[in-house]
Amino acid sequence: MFMLIVLVQYILPKPVNWERTYSYKDKNPYGTYAIYQLLKPTYANELKLNKNTLYNINAQDSSEKSCLILINERINLSKTDLKILYKFISEGNTVFMAANEFNGLMADTFHLNTTLRSFTYYLKRDSLVKTPGTALKLNASNYKKDKYTYPLLCTDYCFTNYDSSRFSSLSVNPDDNAVLITTKISKGHLFLMSMPDVFTNYFIVNQPNRTYAYSILSIITANTKQIIWDEYYKNFNAASESFLKLILDSDALYTAYLLMTFSIILYMITDGRRRQRAIPEIEPIKNTTLEFVNVVSHVYFNSENHKFIAEERVKYFYETIRKRFSISTQEISNEFITAISELSAYDTKLVKQLFTYCEKLKNAETIMEYDLIELNRQITNFNNKSLR
């Protein structure tokens, strides 16, 4: 059943995302992928993507006139951002902001207020697409005869208040309320628009009135060589209030999160108890090799078979010499003694004494306990002081 549900969900077409992101990489209806792809070849020689604050934009090379485009559902700039914005425009650059609402210090400075002209909360999306909404027109003399009608799917905010002594209207709705205003600040220009939806994919791709957006872009990008597209002042870049915000904002992740939580609780209630008895501790097997060697050596020693022990000790010592120094022990000569002394850095007299003593015990018929102890002492001293 689970695999069947997964398969059905995989086969079903994904629902259209109608969220207003205004992001340059989103191909959903309210993304701006289409208009972003048209900017460089049509309206500017150079296109830059900004993902930082206005301060970083101002720090860039300003030798060429630039046009900053900021499109979002609402814009709320800080005091520092507004100061940098003034400086950027004063240097001869252009700033275009399109938003349904202008809040904060910017709204207070320019006395901005926007209002939604048509309330469409109770209409379905199909009705919003088919029902005509606002009709816009540009005030320029060469555009006065043209009207651009948009359906109700395009939110038709307009400026109901702005500083008319500073701003002039460039575009109006049927009620003659401005939707696009502009002002000159020193050498540059500031453009404000209350309908950002006209730049989204739905109203650019296969929309007969898309020339309205093209005309606005032609006006704001006049005499500019570079366009800066802003992605910093967007809703999806707002600081998250909780580390669970990503999960809670997605229906699929939220459902999976609840399912995981209830599954863990159910497991703790039903299967959380211990099901088996405690596993007894088993002690690891002891290494009795040393004990065995100790027992065997005591047997030989107590039996006073010193001759056999000495032969085995010498045999093992010679085997060690062959492996350590790569020298044959078949003939104990002066050259052999000298080579061992040089390789081990052990005194030549002591080396000669050691091997002479070993050969003596090998050829002796009987060996006393003292001889065995002396043999072991000399071999031990050689092994401890040898460099190899």
Nearest 10 degrees: CA dihedral of 169, 170, 171, 174?
40
Paired sense of beta strands 46-50 and 66-71, if any: unpaired
Which residues make Cβ contacts (< 8 Å) with residue 361, sequence separation at least 6? 310, 311, 314, 367, 371, 375
What is 193-230 written as a DSSP string?
A: ES-GGGGSGGGTTT-TTTHHHHHHHHHHTTT-SEEEEE
Whether 297 and 310 have beta carbons less than 8 Å apart is answered as: no
Span of 33-37, 160-164, 298-302 with lowest mean pLDDT: 298-302
Written as six digits, the tokens of 290 are 């040393």
pLDDT at 152 over 80: yes
For residue 251 the two structure tokens come to 């229906």
Closest CA to 170 of 147, 200, 193: 193
Buried b (16+ CB within 10 A) or exposed e, 254-279: eeeeeeeeeeeeeeeeeeeeeeeeee
pLDDT bin (cut points 50, 70, 90) of residue 224 is: confident
Mean pLDDT of 365-373: 86
Cα–Cα nearest to 96, from 20, 194, 21: 194
Tell me the two tokens of residue 219.
């006006």
Burial classification of residue 237, based on how many CB atoms lie within 10 Å of its CB (0-12 exposed, 13-18 middle, 19 or more buried)? exposed
The pTM assigned to this predicted structure is 0.60
Lowest mean pLDDT among 84-93, 288-297, 370-379: 288-297
> pLDDT grade, residue 60 (50/70/90)?
low
Q: What is residue 170's predicted lDDT score, i.e. its pLDDT?
A: 93
Check if the beta carbon of residue 27 is closer than 8 Å to that of residue 33: yes
What count of other Cβ atoms lies within 10 Å of the Cβ of residue 376? 14
Q: What is the mean pLDDT of residues 203-232?
A: 90
Listed range (120-129, 191-200, 330-339) with the worst mean pLDDT: 120-129
pLDDT-derived band at 240, boundaries 50, 70, 90: very low
pLDDT of residue 148 exceeding 70: yes
For residue 313, count other CB atoms closer than 10 A to its CB. 16
Say how far residue 101 (Cα) sits from the centre of its chain: 33
Please tell me the predicted confidence (pLDDT) of residue 97.
96
Q: Is the pLDDT of residue 386 over 90?
A: no
pLDDT greater than 90 at residue 196: yes
Q: What is the mean pLDDT of the chain?
A: 85
Cα 276 from Cα 268, distance rounded (Å): 16
The answer on pLDDT for 15 being more than 70 is yes
Place 122 in a pLDDT band, splitting at 50, 70 and 90: low
**Antiparallel, parallel or unpaired: β 94-98 and 132-138:** unpaired
Backbone phi, then psi, for 179, in 5-degree steps?
-115, -15
Q: Which pLDDT band holds residue 78 (cuts at 50, 70, 90)?
A: confident
The tokens for 128 are 């919003």
Mean local confidence (pLDDT), 13-34: 88
- Give the tens place of pLDDT for each residue, 244-289: 667 776 778 888 888 999 988 988 888 766 666 777 888 888 878 8
**Token output for 122:** 């109770």
Half-sphere exposure of 148 (CA within 13 A, CB side): 26
| Burial (Cβ within 10 Å: 0-12, 13-18, ≥19) of residue 74 | middle
Q: Are 201 and 213 in contact (CB under 8 A)?
A: no
- Rounded Cα distance between 388 and 380, Å, is 14
95: pLDDT confidence band, cut at 50, 70 and 90?
very high
Residue 135 has pLDDT above 70, yes or no: yes
pLDDT per position as a tens digit, 297-353: 777 777 777 888 888 888 999 999 999 899 998 888 999 999 999 988 899 999 999
Mean pLDDT of 148-174: 90
